[in-house]
Structure 1
Amino acid sequence: MQHLTSTPTAKAPAERFTGDVYLNMIDAPTDPARLAAALVRFTPGARTNWHRHANGQTLYVTDGIGLVGTRDGEVVRVSAGEIVKCPAGEEHWHGATDTTLMAHIAMVVGDAAGDGTTWLEPVTDEQYTQALATLSA
């Protein structure tokens, strides 16, 4: 057994996120484990770049209100206690609303080469605004 009382908070890399995003790693896998998990906190308006996961991703929202969007224009509003499962290979993004922070635990199952995430281009302000408008309509 290993008891960890806390992990350091790190600012998320600007090349993968828009706005202020902070990470606390929960678990980085070592062989033979493949599950990576992190607590990710988004300030209002902050979001990930477009990305996909080789083996999919599960998001468990712990606080606030957020958005998850896909390339086909589907957008869901998420809040504390809700879960979103993104299937393998689906290009998507997630983040806070423009007025409310959002935190989630992000879980991915990687492979021998890493966590299986492919990072893509930023979500534009226009795409983000359209996602917010979709939820207001």
Structure 2
Amino acid sequence: MEHISETPTLKAPAERFTGDVYLNMIATPAEPARLAAALVRFTPGARTHWRSHALGQVLHVADGVGLVGTRDGDVVRVSAGDTVTCPAGEEHWHGATDTTLMAHYALVVGDDAGDGTTWLEPVTDEQYAAALAAVAG
């Protein structure tokens, strides 16, 4: 057993996120385990870039309100207690709404090459605005 009492909060890299995003790593893949887990906090308007995961991803919202969008235009509004599963290979993004913070736990099982994440281009302001409009009212 290993007890970790705290992990440092890191600012997420601008080459993978839009806006201010902070993360605390909970688990980092170390053989033989392949689980990567993090608490990720998004300020209003902040979001990931487009991405996919070789073996999928699970998001569990801990606080606030956010969005999860897929390349085919599906968007869901999520809030505390919601869980979203993103299947293997699905291009998606996630982040806060324009008016609220959102924090979620991100869980990924890595592949032989690492955490299995393929990072893509930023979600444009127009794509983000369209996602907000899709879940409004």
Give TM-score scaled by structure 1 length: 0.99
How far did residue 112 of structure 1 move? 2.1
Q: Distance in 1 between matches of 2:84 and 2:56?
A: 11
Aligned-pair identity in percent equals 78
Q: Distance in 1 between matches of 2:64 and 2:17?
A: 18
Instruction: State the partner residue of 1:114.
Output: 114
Q: Distance in 1 between matches of 2:97 and 2:27?
A: 27
Q: Distance in 2 between matches of 1:133 and 1:111?
A: 36
For 1:10, give the aligned amino acid.
L
**SS at 2:132 equivalent:** helix
For 1:130, give the aligned amino acid.
A
Q: Distance in 1 between matches of 2:11 and 2:30?
A: 23
Q: Distance in 2 between matches of 1:116 and 1:73?
A: 23
What's the RMSD between the two structures over aligned residues? 0.6
Q: Distance in 2 between matches of 1:23 and 1:74?
A: 26
For 1:34, give the aligned amino acid.
R
After superposing on structure 2, the runs of 4+ consecutive aligned residues of structure 1 that deviate more than 4 Å are none
Instruction: State the partner residue of 1:129.
Output: 129
Instruction: State the partner residue of 1:20.
Output: 20
The 5 Å alignment of 1:54-69 reads: 54-69=54-69
How far did residue 120 of structure 1 move? 0.2
Give TM-score scaled by structure 2 length: 0.99
Q: Distance in 2 between matches of 1:11 and 1:132?
A: 25
Task: Extract unaligned runs of 5+ from structure 1.
Answer: none
For 1:52, give the aligned amino acid.
S
Residue correspondences, number: 137
Instruction: State the partner residue of 1:105.
Output: 105
